[in-house]
């Protein structure tokens, strides 16, 4: 019984991180009744642990559904595990190793997150130097257009008339707060889409904006889901190089990732001096 208790305590740290959906009661004292979400026998699932399982970017409308699914899955796992114990099932040595390794992975991830939580700033000069040294990375593989898009479900005469009298579709969008609408039926938002490959546009859009002109507002383009307006601010052919302003954020991210990996590598090298490791590769086969 002592061995089983020690095993249970050792895996609690890993389970609390939310990487596994079943959770036995951890520690010597039970939680308060108002903290318990579910219980099977002596095992329980607390609100704190359940909330830790919820992805940070989950839609609020799906949050409760997701949490209830986790509770039901936890209950199913607990019931199945209890029945397995009754019938004599036990964990093999490799299963225990997996649990121990999972705990090590979670602790390692927490340690790295703590050591790397500070930002790794990238200077403008570093961005410019990278851009000049890697011009081939920023060459367009196909024709692109800098596009402004507006979608309207209804034939809004007032808005349509304003568009006809305007030289800027983006100004109309911002003036009427049309970029704040929640679009249900289309994937393109209202506003400045930036540079978009022509081949990825709807065929009706491609047909409407074909040619070499810029600045014109095209539309309304009738579609099954409503009406679309487009304005081409710029055209760039395949083989042209994107300006540094267009790829600056991508370069910054790439350099930050590179620095992060370099910092991790250096950290690991230093820790190996502090905690010597031995390998016996001759025993693999």
Give the class (CATH, top level) of 140-236.
alpha beta
Cβ contact 121:260 at 8 Å = no
Q: Output the CA–CA distances (angstroms, integers) from residue 105 to 98, 99, 114, 150, 245, in the order listed.
A: 10, 10, 14, 48, 39
pLDDT for the residue 12: 45
Answer positive or negative: Cα dihedral of 230, 232, 238, 243. Answer: negative
- Distance separating alpha carbons of residues 113 and 44, to the nearest angstrom: 29
Per-residue pLDDT at 50: 94
Closest CA to 230 of 201, 267, 259, 252: 201
Please tell me the predicted confidence (pLDDT) of residue 6: 38
Q: 147, 231 in Cβ contact below 8 A? A: yes
Helices (H) then strands (E): counts for the chain: 9, 6
Split at pLDDT 50, 70, 90, the class of 140 is: very high
pLDDT higher at 199 or 186: 199
* Per-residue pLDDT tens digits for 149-182: 999 988 889 999 999 999 999 999 999 888 776 5
The pLDDT of residue 187 is above 70: no
Stretch 49-58: mean pLDDT: 91
Q: Which of 54-58, 75-79, 101-105 has the lowest mean pLDDT?
A: 54-58
Q: Is 98 left (phi over 0), alpha (psi -120 to 50) or beta?
A: alpha
Which one-letter DSSP state was computed for residue 116?
T
Note the pLDDT of residue 184. 57
Q: Which two tokens stand for residue 153?
A: 């479900």
Residues 182 and 192: beta-carbon distance below 8 Å: no
Which of 118-121's residues contact partners 24+ apart within 8 Å by CB, and which partners?
120/256, 120/259, 120/260, 120/263
103 pLDDT tier (thresholds 50, 70, 90): very high
* Phi, psi values for residue 202, rounded to 5°: -55, 140
Predicted confidence at residue 265, as pLDDT, reads 96
Residue 234: both structure tokens together = 């710029």
User: What predicted TM-score, i.e. pTM, was given to this entire model?
Assistant: 0.65
Residue 28 has pLDDT above 60, yes or no: no
Higher pLDDT, 41 or 183: 41
Compare 16 and 221 and report the one with higher pLDDT.
221
What is residue 16's predicted lDDT score, i.e. its pLDDT?
Answer: 41
Give the model confidence (pLDDT) of 235-250 as tens digits. 999 999 999 999 999 9
pLDDT digits (tens, 9 = 90+) for 203-212: 999 999 999 9
CB 138 within 8 A of CB 144: no
> What three-state secondary structure class fits 87?
coil
CB atoms closer than 10 angstroms to residue 160: 15
CA 164 to chain centre: 40
pLDDT at 66 over 80: yes
H or E element at residue 79 = helix 60-86
Digit-coded pLDDT (tens) for 248-283: 999 999 999 999 999 999 999 999 999 999 999 999
Instruction: Report the alpha-carbon angle 169-170-172, nearest 5.
Output: 65
pLDDT value of residue 10: 40
Residue 49 CB neighbour total at 10 angstroms? 20
pLDDT band at 17 (very low <50, low <70, confident <90, very high): very low
pLDDT of 43 over the 50 cut: yes
pLDDT at residue 192 above 80?
yes
Q: What is the model's pLDDT at position 182?
A: 57
């Amino acid at each position: 019984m002592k061995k089983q208790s020690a095993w249970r305590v050792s895996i609690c740290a890993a389970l609390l991180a939310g990487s596994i959906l079943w959770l036995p009661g951890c520690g010597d004292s039970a939680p308060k009744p108002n903290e318990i979400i579910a219980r099977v026998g002596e095992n329980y699932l607390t609100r704190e642990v359940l909330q830790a399982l919820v992805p940070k970017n989950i839609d609020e409308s799906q949050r409760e559904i997701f949490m209830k699914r986790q509770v039901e899955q936890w209950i199913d796992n607990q019931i199945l595990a209890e029945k397995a114990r009754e019938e004599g099932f036990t964990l093999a040595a490799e299963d225990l190793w997996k649990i121990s390794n999972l705990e090590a992975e979670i602790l390692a991830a927490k340690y790295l997150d703590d050591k790397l939580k500070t930002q790794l700033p990238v200077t403008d000069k570093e961005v410019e130097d990278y851009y000049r040294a890697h011009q081939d990375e920023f060459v367009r593989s196909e024709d692109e257009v800098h596009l402004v898009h507006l979608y309207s479900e209804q034939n809004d005469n007032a808005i349509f008339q304003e568009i006809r009298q305007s030289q800027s579709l983006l100004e109309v969008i911002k003036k009427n707060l049309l970029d704040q609408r929640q679009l249900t039926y289309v994937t393109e938002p209202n506003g400045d889409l930036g540079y978009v490959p022509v081949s990825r546009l709807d065929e009706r859009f491609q047909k409407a904006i074909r040619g070499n002109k810029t600045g014109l507002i095209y539309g309304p383009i009738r579609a099954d889901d409503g009406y679309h307006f487009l304005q081409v601010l710029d055209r760039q052919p395949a083989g042209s190089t994107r300006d540094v302003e267009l790829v600056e954020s991508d370069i910054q991210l790439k350099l930050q990732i590179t620095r992060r990996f370099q910092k991790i590598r250096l950290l690991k090298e230093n820790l190996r001096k502090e905690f010597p490791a031995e390998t016996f590769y001759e025993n693999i086969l």
